[in-house]
């Protein structure tokens, strides 16, 4: 093999080695949590634009559980259990959570002690911070406190 042939082979090998981490990052086969970006986002019955749209989300910040990835598509599940495929560009890794069930108390301290700061109704969505075994930091439009982990969807 000539010197230029060896250089070419080395360049191909190096490009394959450097491409592997990028491909591995895209193959996060979940599950992991994400949230919706600001624009309307289509939920499709399959991983491609040719598949039928089953739902259109218009509310930014809703938490979504990513179950699987295929290329630029994510199989997601929402709070109601609806599943479908969404383009990754409609999702962000910002962690959010939505109050589920009944009214959730937002407390002053990370162990649920301290004064009651306010109550949040089911469907209220906020930014999720660090979670302990039972309580999570929760920020709703700049109002911060701690919510019981069991009271929100998106903290599992």
Quick one: tokens of 87?
A: 């383009």
**Per-block mean pLDDT, blocks of 10 residues, the chain (156 long):** 48 38 46 93 97 96 97 96 97 97 96 95 97 96 97 94
Nearest to 144 by CA among 111, 114, 107, 102: 107
* pLDDT score recorded for residue 16: 36
Distance separating alpha carbons of residues 71 and 67, to the nearest angstrom: 13
Closest CA to 91 of 121, 127, 62: 62
Of the CA atoms within 13 Å of residue 41, those in its CB half-sphere come to 26
Per-residue confidence (pLDDT) for residue 8, from 0 to 100: 42
DSSP class per residue in 117-146: EEEE-TT-EEEEEEE-SSEEEEEETTEEEE
């Amino acid at each position: 093999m000539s010197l230029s042939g060896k250089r070419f082979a080395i360049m191909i090998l190096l490009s394959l080695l450097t491409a592997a981490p990028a491909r591995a990052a895209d193959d996060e086969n979940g599950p992991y949590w994400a949230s919706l970006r600001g624009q309307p986002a289509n939920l499709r019955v399959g991983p491609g634009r040719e598949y039928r749209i089953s739902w259109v989300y218009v509310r930014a910040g809703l938490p979504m559980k990513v179950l699987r990835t295929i290329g630029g598509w994510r199989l997601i599940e929402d709070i109601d259990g609806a599943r479908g495929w969404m383009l990754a560009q409609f999702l962000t890794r910002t962690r959010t959570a939505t109050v589920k069930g009944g009214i959730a108390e937002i407390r002053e301290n990370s162990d649920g002690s301290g004064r009651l700061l306010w109550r949040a109704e089911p469907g209220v969505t906020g930014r999720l911070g660090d979670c302990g075994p039972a309580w999570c930091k929760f920020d709703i439009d700049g109002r911060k406190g701690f919510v019981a982990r069991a009271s929100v969807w998106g903290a599992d």
